């Protein structure tokens, strides 16, 4: 039985989830309490980092001696990529992001990805889901690990426990985000799919699904 909860604190220890095919390690960094996720293929040892948010020393300790093949940035906001230059310089990892947010990153995006593209970490495949609204190029990553491992989605700042990401009272941006989240996440993922957000605690698709009408009605 896994002891993983996803409850991590800045300055505290990471939380590790051992799954068939993949190990997911969650670490909180920075005054914004950003979540960084290290994914490691258990068959090959290859590693991928979701959001090099801050504190390159802590991220280097997280990565360890196993090397890092890829860094995916979920969106262009500054608090999610402050450590990206240091991490890329130290590891030579390939940078991945959506082209609509690429200009906001502090290093060139070597591999631009669009909705429906895939990113691999060893033998495991992650599906890119474009979620327009929090930023133009926000993406989520979906790993469908099969019957034993389950489904896991890394949502950046587009979906949290209790609602979608901030759209700053912009009705058009909110409509875009809630539509994409409803259609592209809730419309395709099972209730047991585990949600790993860009800040704070984890949740599941099933825990949040009943609240979709409320979120849409309140407009945030």
pLDDT in tens, 82-133: 999 999 999 999 999 999 999 999 999 999 999 999 999 999 999 999 999 9
Per-residue pLDDT, averaged over 38-58, amounts to: 98
> Residue 1: pLDDT band by 50, 70, 90 thresholds?
very low
Per-residue pLDDT, averaged over 9-28, amounts to: 98
Which two tokens mark 40?
Answer: 């490691």
> Residue 15: pLDDT band by 50, 70, 90 thresholds?
very high
Q: How far apart are CA 206 and CA 68, in angstroms?
A: 32
Which residues, at least 6 apart from 26, have a Cβ–Cβ distance to it below 8 Å? 6, 8, 14, 15, 16, 17, 35, 36, 37, 196, 202
pLDDT digits (tens, 9 = 90+) for 170-198: 999 999 999 999 999 999 999 999 999 99
Residues of the chain above pLDDT 90, percent = 99
Per-residue pLDDT, averaged over 158-175, amounts to: 98
Residue 75 has pLDDT above 90, yes or no: yes
Chain mean pLDDT for the chain: 97
pLDDT digits (tens, 9 = 90+) for 63-74: 999 899 999 999
């Amino acid at each position: 039985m896994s002891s993983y909860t996803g409850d991590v604190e800045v300055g505290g220890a990471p939380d590790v989830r051992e799954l068939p095919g993949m190990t997911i390690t969650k670490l909180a960094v920075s005054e914004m309490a950003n979540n960084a996720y290290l994914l490691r293929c258990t068959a090959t040892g290859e590693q991928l980092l979701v959001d090099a948010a801050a504190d390159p020393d802590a991220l280097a300790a997280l990565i360890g001696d196993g090397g890092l093949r890829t860094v995916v940035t979920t969106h262009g906001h500054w608090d999610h990529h402050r450590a990206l230059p240091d991490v890329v310089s130290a590891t030579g990892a390939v940078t991945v992001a959506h082209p609509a947010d690429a200009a906001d990153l502090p290093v060139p995006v070597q591999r631009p990805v669009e909705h429906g593209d895939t990113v691999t970490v060893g033998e495991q495949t992650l599906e890119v889901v474009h979620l327009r609204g929090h930023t133009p190029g926000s993406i989520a990553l979906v790993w469908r690990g099969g019957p034993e491992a389950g489904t896991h989605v890394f949502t950046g700042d587009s979906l949290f426990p209790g609602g979608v990401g901030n759209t700053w009272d912009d009705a058009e941006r909110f409509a875009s985000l809630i539509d994409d989240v409803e259609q592209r996440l809730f419309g395709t993922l099972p209730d047991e799919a585990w949600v790993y957000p860009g800040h704070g605690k984890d949740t599941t698709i099933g825990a949040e699904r009943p609240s979709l009408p409320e979120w849409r009605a309140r407009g945030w």
